[in-house]
Structure 1
Amino acid sequence: MTVADQLRVLIVEDSSDDADLLAHELKRGGYEVESQRVDTEEGMALALERNIWDLIICDYSMPHFNAMAALVLLRGSGLDIPVIVVSGAVGEDVVVETMRAGARDYILKDSLMRLVPAVKRELLQAQARRKEAERERLISFLFELSHDFFCIAGFDGYFKTLNPQWSKVLGWSETELTTKPFIEFVHPEDREKTNDMCKSLAARKDAMAFENRYLCKDGSLRLFLWNATPLVSERLYFASAHDITDISRSHEAVLQGERRFRELLEETHLFSVMLDIEGRVTFCNYALLNKTGFMREEVIGKSWFDVFLPDDARQSVSDMFHGKIRAGEMPSYFENEIQTRSGARRLVIWNNVILRDEAGKITGTASIGEDITERKEYEKVLHGKMLEIEKLNKFMTGRELRIIELKKEVDNLLKAGGLPPKYKV
C-alpha cells in the first residue's frame, strides 16, 4: 500500500449501512480508507474545520441535510475538495442541477461499480488543480512584492493589471489608473514617443526597452526604464518598469537594470538562460544549474547546444536558432528536451524573446523555461485513464438503460394482470 492509495473520505450520509457500503467499495478498489460520516450541516462544517479530506461522497437527500446545501457549505469554506453525489434514482434535471452546483459526478447507488473509476479521475484532476494554484500563488507573490512596476496592458490603451508599486509611488488609486487610457499618465512630451513604441511593439514579437516619464498625483515626475513584450494573440502587453528617477540615464543605469533583472531570474524556480547571437551562454540561473547538475563555470561562454542538447537534437535545434537569429525572429514558445550532466533528459517548454541594444541591433536571446517532464507523464497517464473511464461509462450507460426498460416491462405486465406496479419508472 502506497501513500497514493490512502484515501481520507468525508461521507455525508444519514444511513450508516450505506456509508459502510461506500467505504467497502473503495477498499475493493484498492484504497486504504479513513472515513467519517456526517448527516447535518453542523457536522460537515466541523469535519471540514478539523480534518483534511481528499474526497467528499454525499447523498442527495437526507432528513436534515442535502447535497445542494453541502455544496454551498464547501464553496463557502474555500476548500477544493471533489464531491461525488451517490444517491437513488432521480430525474435528469436533478443531476444537471447538482453538477452545475459543483458536484464532480453523480452515481446511482445501484451502480457503485462506477464509483472507483470516478474517484481515481477526480483525485488526479484535484492534484493538477492544486499544482496550478500553487504555481499561480508563487507568481502572484513575486508580482505583489516587487519594487519594480509590473503591468499587463491592452492594445486598447488601458491597464488591465498592476502591482501595488504603481499606487504606492505614483499616488493614483488602482481604479484611477485602470479607468483612463494609460497614455494620460505619461508626460505630454513623451506621449508621442510612447504611442509609437506601443504600435511598434504590437507589430513584432520580441521584447523592447525604452524610457518615458510618468505623472504622479502630486505633480512630480518619475522616469521609468521599460522592458515590454506583446502577446499578440490576446492583444496584450506584458511589461515591467524600473524607476530610474534618482539614477543618471547613463550606461550605469542600464547595467543596474540588467543586474536587477538577472537577480530576479536567479530567484525564480523556472529555468532562465541568455545566449549571444552565436548560441553561447551568457547567463543561466541556479534553477537550471541545480536541475542539470552543471557548475556555472562549466557553461558560461560555452555553446548551449553542445552542453545541454542531446546528440539526436543538437544539430536541428542549433540550425533553427541561427536561422531565426539571422532573420531577426524567434519562436515565442518552443518545446524541446535538454540533457543533464548524468545524461538524463528533461522536457522543457521555453518562452523566448530577442534581445536588442539601444540601436536596435540583435545581441542575443533570453528564455524562460518550465520543466514539464512530470506534467507530460501525468497527462499521458490521465489521458489513458480518461479513455478507460469513457469506455466504462459507455458500457454502464447502456446497461442502466436496459435495466430501466426491463423495469418498465415488469410494471406493464403487472398492470395487465391487475396488479400494482413494482418499480414505477
Structure 2
Amino acid sequence: MLRILMVEDSPTDAELSLRELKRAGMTCEFMRVETEQDFRDQIQDYHPQLILSDYSLPQFDGMSALHIARELAPEIPFIFVSGTIGEETAIHSLKNGAADYIIKNNLSRLPSAVTSALERAEEKIMHKRMERELENSNRLFRVFMQNLPAIAFIKDQQGQYIFANASTVDALQLPHEQIIGKHDTLLFPPQLAQEMRAAEQQTLAQGEAIQHVRQFPLADDVKLWLLTTFPVQDMDGNFNHIGGIGIDITEQRKAEEALLLRNHAIEASATPILIVDVTQPAMPLIYVNRAFELVTGYSSQEAVGRNCRFLQGHDREQPELEKIRTAIRERCPGYAILRNYRKDGSLFWNELYVAPVPDPHGGEPRYFVGVQKDITEIRQYQEALERQANYDTLTGLANRNLLKERMQQAISEARRHNWTFSVAFIDIDNFKRVNDSMGHSAGDELIRLLGQRLQSCLRDGDTVARLGGDEFVLLLTSQSLDESIHTVVQRIRNTIINPFIITGRQLTVTCSIGLANFPHDGRNADTLLSNADSAMYQAKASGSNNFRFYAKEMNAELGHRLSLENDLWHALENQQLVLHYQPQVCMRNSQIIGMEALIRWQHPKLGMIPPLQFIPLSEDDGLIVPIGIWVMETAAHQNRQLQLAGYPPIRVAVNLSVRQLEQKDLVHCIEKTLQHSGLDPQCLELEITESMLMHNIEESIITLNRISDLGVQLSLDDFGTGYSSLSYLKRLPINRLKIDKSFINDITTTYNDAIIARSIIALAHSLEIQVIAEGVESADQYAFLLENGCDEVQGYLLSRPRPFEEMEALLRDGGRLLPAS
C-alpha cells in the first residue's frame, strides 16, 4: 500500500489525482494537508512514501513544501501536480530536488511519473546503503588492521608499500611515512630484500599464498618472523597487489629449542623419568624416557596408556604407596620407596619422587612427573649389613643384639598390657664331646639343625636366638594364648631328643633348659637372661635333659597354679563363678546406659579371686570357651531380668577372648543366647581388643560382620595400646571405641596422653563411632573427657563393679550417677 501525502487545498483535485493512480493499477492511500504545520506533522507521523504538492495554495506554497521535505525527509520523492506552474518554475523546482512536475490537465502522465520517481528514490536508497556498508567495511578493516598484533602490509606489483599497519611500524621501528611508497631495498639489508622480493614474485606467478621464515635485523636485536605472502585480486580478477601477514616467532622458536634441549636431556638421562595424567580416571602414563625402558624392561609402547600399578605386579599391599596417593590427591610433591618388578618378573627397589606440573592457567595440575631411582644394590647392601648386625651367621637365627631389642619390645608391651612372658635359656648337654669326637664341622652342622628344630617348635611371635657356641635363648611371648609354658618346654625336649643325622651318622642329644618369667624374675633384659642362665645351670646340675624355673619360689608358685587349675575345672559346675557389673554412664545426662559384666571366682577356701589370677589359667587349659559362654548367657539373662522388672533398657558389655573369637560356632552361640534369654540384640555388646584381631585379621573381620548382622553391638577395647591400624579400623563394624585406662591415668598431667585421648575421640567421631573411657577415677579426668566430647564413661569415680542386686538398686533409684565431688 503506497502512502501519499498531498499538499492540496482542493479535495476534488486530490481525488482526481488518486483516481488516476488507481486507474493505473496502483494501490494507495493518501493524507491531504493545506498548511505548513500540518505538512510538517504528517511527514513525521504519517511516514509517507510519496509527496504530491500543488504549487500555489491559499495558506501555503509548493516551493516551501519542497524545501521542508528536503530538510525533513530528503529520501521521499516530491512531485508537483499543479495547473499554474510555468516552464521556468518547473525547471527551478527540479533543480531544488523535485522529482517531476505534472500539469493537472494532463494527469494521465502522473502514474508513470510516480513509478519513475519511486524507482529513482529506491536506487538512491540502495546506493547510499552500499556507500555506508563500504564505508563501515573500510572502517572495520582499518580498526582490525591497526589493532592486529601481527604485522600486515600491502604492496603494489613493483613491491612498493601502499599499506602498513601499526604493528608493521612498531616492528620496523620506522615512522609510517618512511615505509609507504618504499621498496624493501630501502628498508632491509640487500640479501633479505632480494629474498622477500623473490617470494613475492613467486606468489604473484603462482596465484597462491607462500609461507616463509625470515630474520629481521634491528638496531639492537634480531627478530625471527613467520611471513605469509598472498596475491590480492582486483575487480577484473588480476593479481596486481601483494598482501602479507607476519608473526614474531622469536620467543616461540627459543622456547621450542629450549624444550628440544630439555627433551634430549631427559631422553639421555640415566635416571628413569615418567609423566602421568592424573585428571583421567585410570591416571595413565603419557611419557617414559629411555632409562625407564632400560630399568623396567618395558618399552614406551608397552608402558604408555597404563597405570603405574603394573610395576607392582601382585605386590599391591605396600604402605608406602599411600604416600604417592596422598601426594596426587593433594596435588603436592611426594616420595616413597616401592617394590617394583621388571618385565621379566625380577624385583627392584624404586626410590620414587613425584611432583605436580603447575598449570599455566592457574588451575589444578593435570600432570605429575615421576623420577625413579633404582636402589636395589643399596638396599641389598643395607639388608646385608643389618643381617650381619642382627643375625647369627651359622644358623640365620637372631643374635644377642636382636634378642635384646626384641626383649625390650616384649617388656614394653607386657608393661602396657599387664602381660607376662618367659625366657628359656637352652644349652646342649655334652656338646664338647661332639666337637671332640666328630670335629667342629659336625658340631656346626648340629648347631644349625638344632636351630631349625627349635624354630619349628614356636609360634610366629616368639624368637629363637643363638648367643654363641651351643647356647640358645627362646623368647616366648605368645604361648599363653592357648598353651602353658610347660607344654612348650615339653615339646622342645621331645623335638630335640629325636636323632640327628650328621655326616651320615645318627646322633642323639639332650639339652638343659632354664626359665625366667617377666616380671617376677626380672624387669629388664639383662636380669632375665642372667636368671634364665642360672636356672639352666641348676637344671644341668640335676642331670641331663632337665629344666628348671628360676628360684624356689617359682616352683612353689607352680604348685599353687596346678592346684588352681584343678579347682577351676569344677568352678563352673559348682556355681562358684559370679558376675559383677560396672555401670557405664552417658556424659551428657549422667544416666546409666550400659554396664560391663566382670567375672569373679568365689573360691570356697581362698575367697574371692580376681580374674587376673584365673583367666590366664582358663586360657591355657581351654576352659576360657565354656566360661565365656557362661558369662554371655548369664549377662544376657540378668539384663533381660532388669527389663522385665520395668527398668529402661540398657546394654550389657561382655568381653570376648581370643579363643572364643576363633571358635567356628561363636555366632551360633550368640544366636542361641539371644533366643533363650529373649534379650534384644541391641542390648548386648561384645568387647574385643586390638591384639585379638591381629592373629587372623581377615577371619576376624568376617566373624565380626556376622555378629554385627545379628544386631549385636561391638566395642573395641584398649584402643591405642596395640596396633592401632586405621586401615583395619575403618573395616571393622564396631559401634564403640574404649579408651584404655593407661591413657586415662595421666590424662590431666601428661601432654602425650591428653593428645592421644583427644585424637581417639576425634578419630572415632569422624568414623561415626561412639567413645567410652574406662578407669576414670578423678573429677579432673571426668572434666577433661567431658570437655573433649567423650560420649560415655566408667570407673571408680562413678561406681565400682557391683553385684547384680546392687546394680538393680542403682537403676531403681533413678539410674543416674554423678561424679563424686
* Shared fold per TM-score greater than 0.5: no
TM-score range, shorter-chain basis?
Answer: 0.3 to 0.5
Greater RCO, 1 or 2 (C-alpha within 8 Å, sep 6+):
1
State which structure, 1 or 2, has the greater radius of gyration over its C-alpha atoms.
2
TM-score, normalised to structure 1's length? Answer: 0.39
TM-score, normalised to structure 2's length? Answer: 0.22
